[in-house]
Structure 1
Amino acid sequence: MSADINRLEHIIEAIDRIQNYTAVKYADYEKSQEKQDAVISNFIKLGEAAGKLSPELKAVHPEVNWRNAVGMRNVLVHDYVKIDYKELWQTAKNDLPVLKKQIQKILEDISEK
């Protein structure tokens, strides 16, 4: 379980970093290769951590779309020519706040046990 806790904390850290890098206007993000690279790197970290969570933890928390997190990582690593920076931006703005709350809740539940 401690490995899962560590990976969940890495997911939160990656989300926080992505949110920090996207806390600008879209036009500023679009012009900044550094921000885009940083966002990609942290999405990869997020997906890698999600992919290494135990099957038991994932089964207990089907409300989290683990498959999408890992799938995005796979596209970013293996099919990088298809990266859609606007889609990454939208995911950061729309999906990550929800994911962060879900992960925080899981961490709270684990710590209560």
Structure 2
Amino acid sequence: MRLGSEAVIKRIGDAANKLPEEVRNAIPEVPSDEIRSNRILVAHIYHRIDYQIIWETLAHDIPPLALALTQWRENISRRPGGLRP
């Protein structure tokens, strides 16, 4: 369970790193800087990981994050020209 939770945090952090600045600015409710910082912690300072905090993050913070991203995608897809590939 621990390694799986670490992998999820790393993947979310990697995705946040790849978001263009204009996307990050368009979704201010998504804490991109915090997400990237958590990825660094899990990937490089793993001896200090508090797995209770990781679990709480996955259980409580990720669902609203997913909702915000889904809403952004839906809004952008409704614009003329839709989403760029």
> TM-score per shorter chain, which class?
0.7 to 0.9
Shift of the alpha carbon at 1:52? 1.1
TM-score, scaled relative to structure 2: 0.86
Give the residue type in structure 2 aligned to 1:46.
I
- Runs of 4+ aligned residues of structure 1 deviating over 4 Å after TM superposition are none
Structure 1 stretches of 5 or more lacking a match? 1-34
Q: How far, CA to CA, are the matches of 1:92 and 1:61 in structure 2? A: 19
Kindly tell me the number of residue pairs found equivalent between the two proteins. 79
How many percent identity over aligned positions? 29
Q: CA offsets, 1:78-112, max 9 Å, x none?
A: 11111111001111111111111111111111211
Structure 2 stretches of 5 or more lacking a match? 80-85
Choose the corresponding residue for 1:94, options 40, 60, 69.
Answer: 60
Q: How far, CA to CA, are the matches of 1:40 and 1:50 in structure 2? A: 15
Shift of the alpha carbon at 1:60? 1.6
Structure 1 or 2: more helix by fraction: 1
